Amino acid sequence: MPAGEDYYSKLNLTPFINAAGTYTYLTASTMPPQVREAVNRAALSPVNLIELQKAAGEYLAKRLHCEAALVSDGAASAVTLSTAACVTRGRDRAILNLPNDMADLPNEVLMQRAHRYDYDHAIRCCGVKIVEIETLEDYDRAFTPRTAMAHFFNAAQGGRVSREDWIRIAHKHGVPASNDAAADVPPTSHLWDYTNMGFDLVQFSGGKGLRGPQNSGLLLGRKDLVEAAALNNNPFGGTVGRGMKVSKEQIVGLVAAVDWFLDQDETAMRAEFQKRAELIAAAVQKIPSVKTQIFVPPVANNVPHLLITYDMKRLKLSASDVQTQLRQGTPSIELNPATGGDPGEGLPAGPNVIVVGVWMMLPGQDAIVARRLHEVLSKASAT
């Protein structure tokens, strides 16, 4: 048993089996033992935060084959700091004036209309406005002296301008190209693919596939821009990033998580996720009308997921009902939020579609999820 008092119990909270994935509102991933131990050790001793950020950034840049790196307060913070860096380029007065006084500063960020997303605010909070484009011709014409950054959403399901063209046209106009790849590891190679491709700034979550502290993020890219981002970050006062505080535990935890992640056998990890999905599929696929499919989303959360579909005329309950029953059962189980809903993040969905995320389960929890799904679906089949 873990040491220390059980504060979930003390606060009347019920932990659940994570059959969903690395979603923020479900507290994302769990940290491996090596990461937890590094966090605990860091908690015991103070250091200079600026020196720690600098040393951690240099270490991460070497490990991830890029010019520079910065540990941020999550991926959204990395997007904000990227925007601030491109607007201010390290100018002290500009840093202090964001977001209200944009006089003589570039204040436009280009995005494809299909790439607009829930995290636009992480860009707009720097005082900029987003200019939408659709075609390559639109994109080329949209650059003006007011353009600060060209931002790409890596997991977008649409968009007519490729990553390569996004970079090429931005660089033609002397503007940094940014890429939000928050949930896009694994595969491991994505940690350097996009900077090697030519993106000037790339953002990743530290608390998703990397399995670091939930409130950590990675900003990777061009040295001058990452340094400009750091000047907009904590612990400096009067900056747009002052409240996006990263602690010594977050920084050390993310460095440890990157070390842990790079040491993993990616093939073996995927084989384990496949095995879990197959175990759950075997438990339910003999129930009348139930069909199973193992599906790997193309970009974000690029690991095996189990899709369970069925004829709602034969099993008279919706996938959302299944989700509720598992959530309210003992132990509580959270299914992927695409269950019974609308397609999102590359996952199919529908009223009769159950989506099981297997990669954040602890050992043995796949068997529990398999049993509970069999119980719920079998009962529906019998009514």
In this structure, the answer to whether residues 182 and 46 fall within a common structural domain is: yes
Residues 295-308, mean pLDDT to the nearest whole number = 95
For residues 145 and 277, membership in a common domain is answered with no
Q: How many residues does the chain have?
A: 383
310 in a structural domain: yes
Query: Is 17 in the same domain as 166?
Result: no
Which tens digits make up the pLDDT trace of 326-337? 999 999 999 999
| Tokens coding 210 | 């990397």
16 and 87 belong to one structural domain: no
Residue 1 lies in a domain: no
**Do residue 256 and residue 269 come from a single domain?**
no
Quick one: 174 exposed, middle or buried, by C-beta within 10 A (0-12, 13-18, 19+)?
Answer: exposed
246 and 156 within one domain = yes
343: confidence class by pLDDT, cuts 50, 70, 90: low
Considering 215, 235, 263, which residue would you say is the last residue of a domain?
263
Q: What is the pLDDT confidence band of residue 346, given thresholds at 50, 70 and 90? A: low
> What's the pLDDT at 103?
87
Residue 134 sits in the same domain as residue 179: yes
Q: Given pLDDT bands bounded at 50, 70 and 90, which one contains residue 345?
A: low
Residues 208-259 pLDDT 10s: 999 999 999 999 999 999 999 999 999 999 999 999 999 999 999 999 999 9
- pLDDT exceeds cutoff 70 at 272: yes
Tokens of 169: 């046209």
Which of 263, 294, 309 is the last residue in one of the domains?
A: 263
State mean pLDDT over 254-277: 98
Q: Mean of the pLDDT values across residues 103-128? A: 96
Q: What value does the mean pLDDT take over residues 351-373?
A: 97
Which of 263, 293, 310 is the endpoint of a domain? 263
Tell me the average pLDDT across 261-286: 97
159 lies in some domain: yes
pLDDT tens digits, 23-43: 999 999 999 999 999 999 999
Could you tell me the CA-to-CA distances from 326 to 223, 237, 323 in Å, in that order? Answer: 48, 46, 5
Distance CA 336, CA 261 (A): 23
Assess contact for 332 and 369: CB atoms under 8 A. Answer: no
The whole-number pLDDT of residue 221 equals: 98
Residue 268: pLDDT band by 50, 70, 90 thresholds?
A: very high
Statement to judge: residues 181 and 284 lie in one domain: no
Q: Does the pLDDT of residue 1 top 70, yes or no? A: no
Neighbours of 253 (CB within 10 A): 31
How do residues 56-93 score in pLDDT, each as one tens digit? 999 999 999 999 999 999 999 999 999 999 999 988 88
Give the domain range for residue 165: 31-263
- Mean pLDDT over all residues of the chain? 96
Is 216 among the domain residues?
A: yes
Considering its fold, how many domains does the chain have in total? 2
